[in-house]
């Protein structure tokens, strides 16, 4: 029954061949039609490729959802400066787990997308910035680039055309902030990864002050499919404002966590159903649609279609589109404390509201976790969040200001309780765990 119902909503497109044991090789990728899109793209002019992606309505999958074709169109084609493509493969948002799997399972899809995108924006050099904590992704993508180069798909005269391209794989060194696009550029140039003041935007002055497009891995992976099948086909999935399909990476207290590919507009209830439901038949307490940087929702929001527009209307965001699910055994105070500890650790220190704000918020939240919070401090936490939000240099500050107010909106009573009782007394940590702790 479940399987039959599932086949109605799930649409494995990017993931269609991930169970093919040879997909990670060039030969395996070509066997399932790989690099045909590149050849088709090279028959078009670069501007025609940009127009095609604009018409498809593809939006960035890194979190902000900016229209990809428009981003490409911002890059000036005239001028003597080189143009660059930079791929943001620094996936480190708590909850996100889609780009790394894509690079592990199907590295050539990324490489093909990189070549097509570079051709469209007329870049002669592309960089793939992979987070350093995933050496296996570095290995696989580097090898895929080498295979593509040896097959004449990268280098001089790509696939026999007049177009030439070099692709470089770069490993990061552990900094969440480098997922912010201008911080990523600074990092790639060899500096500390701190965000730059915008404007100028990267499309005008990006890497080495030259026009640069920065795209997320999943965004790039959509491009070959759009080239092959056309904009109308792509728009046949999802909604008008959120066209296409998405790697929904479901994590947390579900029976079968993992990647479920489906068009935009699927609901969390449906995704939960495919993921086998909440483990042990328990209930959802709260869930987050797209990474810890977007506000949480509760069980009453399970039927909201997962689109940019519907989630914005519900006061949250689609973000990375990687839902985390927490069941009723979870302490929301503890979850929020941990996220803030994360933002404190990852704050780059450039601007004061984020650097100092996260420090004080964590200090207070940790006391709540111990059952030592004071009621007056709830107001203080709210003030601090307000001081961080909108006053920080980059989106990391805004993100850090997100979890607490959202949690207070739905679970104020738990913070009240944490003024008297340590959260581990209210919520047994062993019950929250994935497996029963026999040996602990």
**According to CB under 8 A, which residues from 328 to 357 bind another protein?**
330-331, 334-335, 338-339, 341-342, 345-346, 348
Interface stretch with another protein, choices 227-235, 300-308, 354-362, 425-433 (CB under 8 A): 425-433
CA atoms within 13 A on the CB side of 71: 27
State which of residues 176, 225, 286, 415 lies at the interface with another protein (CB under 8 A). Answer: 176
Helix (H, G, I), strand (E, B) or coil at 115: helix
State which of residues 60, 65, 224, 257 lies at the interface with another protein (CB under 8 A). Answer: 257
What are the helix (H) ranges across 122-267? Answer: 135-150, 181-188, 217-229, 231-235
Total residues contacting another protein (rule CB under 8 A)? Answer: 93
Closest CA to 383 of 411, 353, 420, 410: 353
Which is closer to another protein, CB of 161 or CB of 168?
Answer: 168
109 is an interface residue for another protein by CB under 8 A = no
In 62-193, where do the E strands start and end? Answer: 84-89, 125-130, 166-171
Angstrom distance (rounded) from CA 276 to CA 287: 16
Could you tell me the strand order of the sheet in which 245-252 lies? Answer: 258-263, 245-252, 324-327, 284-288, 297-298
Which is closer to another protein, CB of 42 or CB of 362?
Answer: 362
Cis peptide before 200 (omega within 30 of 0): yes
- Taking the complex as a whole, how short is the minimal distance between the CB of residue 284 and another protein, in angstroms? 14
Q: 63 phi and psi, to 5 degrees?
A: 145, -35
Q: Are 341 and 362 in contact (CB under 8 A)?
A: yes
322 is an interface residue for another protein by CB under 8 A = yes
State which of residues 31, 77, 156, 192 lies at the interface with another protein (CB under 8 A). Answer: 192
- Taking the complex as a whole, how short is the minimal distance between the CB of residue 394 and another protein, in angstroms? 15
Distant-in-sequence, close-in-space partners of 154: CB < 8 Å, separation ≥ 6 = 111, 115, 145, 148, 165, 166, 167
- Based on the number of CB atoms within 10 Å of its own CB, is 328 exposed (0-12), middle (13-18) or buried (19 or more)? middle
State which of residues 175, 378, 388, 407 lies at the interface with another protein (CB under 8 A). Answer: 175
Interface stretch with another protein, choices 43-51, 272-280, 365-373, 380-388 (CB under 8 A): 272-280
- Taking the complex as a whole, how short is the minimal distance between the CB of residue 421 and another protein, in angstroms? 18
Question: For residues 215-254, which are near another protein according to CB under 8 A?
Answer: 248-253
- Taking the complex as a whole, how short is the minimal distance between the CB of residue 274 and another protein, in angstroms? 5
- Based on the number of CB atoms within 10 Å of its own CB, is 71 exposed (0-12), middle (13-18) or buried (19 or more)? buried
Interface stretch with another protein, choices 29-37, 185-193, 351-359, 364-372 (CB under 8 A): 185-193
Which is closer to another protein, CB of 251 or CB of 392?
Answer: 251
In this structure, the chain runs to a length of: 440
Question: For residues 18-47, which are near another protein according to CB under 8 A?
Answer: 18-19, 21-24
Beta bridge pairs of residue 297:
287
Binding-site string for another protein from residue 128 to residue 167, where x marks contact by CB under 8 A and - marks none: ---xxxxxx-xxx-xx--x---------------------
Angstrom distance (rounded) from CA 183 to CA 131: 13
Which is closer to another protein, CB of 234 or CB of 274?
Answer: 274
Angstrom distance (rounded) from CA 412 to CA 405: 10
- Taking the complex as a whole, how short is the minimal distance between the CB of residue 20 and another protein, in angstroms? 8
Interface stretch with another protein, choices 16-24, 50-58, 228-236, 358-366 (CB under 8 A): 16-24
Which is closer to another protein, CB of 10 or CB of 50?
Answer: 10
Cis peptide before 199 (omega within 30 of 0): yes
Q: Are 395 and 350 in contact (CB under 8 A)?
A: no
- Taking the complex as a whole, how short is the minimal distance between the CB of residue 151 and another protein, in angstroms? 15
Question: For residues 57-96, which are near another protein according to CB under 8 A?
Answer: 91-96
Interface stretch with another protein, choices 15-23, 37-45, 310-318, 353-361 (CB under 8 A): 15-23
426 is an interface residue for another protein by CB under 8 A = no
Which is closer to another protein, CB of 322 or CB of 385?
Answer: 322
292 is an interface residue for another protein by CB under 8 A = yes
- Taking the complex as a whole, how short is the minimal distance between the CB of residue 72 and another protein, in angstroms? 26
Question: For residues 111-130, which are near another protein according to CB under 8 A?
Answer: none
- Taking the complex as a whole, how short is the minimal distance between the CB of residue 350 and another protein, in angstroms? 11
Quickly tell me which residue has 């601090």 as its tokens: 384
Question: For residues 357-416, which are near another protein according to CB under 8 A?
Answer: none
CA distance readout (Å), 298 to 325, 375, 431: 10, 24, 20
């Amino acid at each position: 029954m479940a399987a039959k119902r599932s086949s109605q909503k799930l649409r494995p497109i990017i993931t269609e061949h991930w169970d093919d044991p040879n997909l990670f090789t060039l030969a395996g990728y070509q066997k399932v039609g790989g690099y045909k899109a590149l050849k088709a793209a090279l028959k078009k002019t670069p501007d025609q490729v940009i127009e095609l992606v604009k018409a498809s309505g593809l939006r960035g999958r890194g979190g902000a959802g900016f229209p990809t074709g428009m981003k490409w169109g911002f890059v000036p084609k005239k001028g003597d400066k080189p143009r660059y493509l930079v791929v943001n493969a620094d996936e480190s948002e708590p909850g996100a787990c889609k780009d790394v799997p894509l690079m592990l399972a199907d590295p050539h899809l990324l490489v093909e997308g990189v070549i097509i995108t570079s051709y469209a924006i007329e870049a002669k050099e592309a960089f793939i910035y992979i987070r350093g904590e995933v050496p296996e992704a570095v290995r696989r993508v580097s090898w895929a680039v080498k295979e593509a180069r040896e097959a004449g798909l990268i280098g001089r005269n790509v696939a026999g055309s007049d177009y030439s391209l070099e692709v470089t794989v770069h490993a990061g060194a552990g900094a969440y902030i480098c997922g912010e696009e201008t911080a990523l550029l600074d990092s790639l140039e060899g500096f500390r990864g701190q965000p730059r003041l915008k404007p100028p935007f990267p499309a005008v002055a990006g890497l080495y002050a030259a026009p640069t497009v920065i795209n997320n891995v999943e965004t790039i992976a959509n491009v070959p499919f759009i080239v092959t099948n056309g904009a109308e086909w792509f728009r046949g999935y999802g909604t008008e404002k959120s066209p296409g399909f998405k790697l929904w990476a479901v994590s947390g207290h579900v029976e079968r966590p993992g990647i479920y590919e489906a068009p935009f507009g699927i609901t969390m209830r449906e995704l939960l159903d495919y993921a086998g439901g909440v483990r042990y038949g328990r209930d959802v307490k709260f869930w987050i649609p797209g990474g810890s940087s977007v506000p949480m929702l509760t069980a009453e929001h399970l039927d909201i279609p997962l689109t940019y527009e519907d989630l914005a209307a519900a006061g949250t965001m689609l973000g990375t589109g990687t839902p985390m699910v927490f069941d009723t055994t979870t302490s929301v105070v503890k979850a929020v404390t941990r996220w803030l500890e994360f933002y404190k650790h990852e704050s780059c220190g450039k601007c004061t509201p984020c650097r100092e704000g996260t420090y004080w918020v964590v200090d207070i939240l940790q006391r709540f976790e111990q059952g030592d919070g004071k009621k007056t401090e709830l107001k203080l936490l709210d003030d601090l969040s307000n001081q961080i939000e909108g006053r920080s240099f980059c989106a990391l500050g805004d993100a850090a200001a997100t979890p607490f107010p959202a949690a207070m909106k739905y679970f104020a009573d738990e913070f009240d309780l944490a003024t008297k009782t340590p959260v581990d007394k209210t919520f047994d940590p062993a019950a929250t765990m994935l497996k029963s702790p026999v040996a602990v």
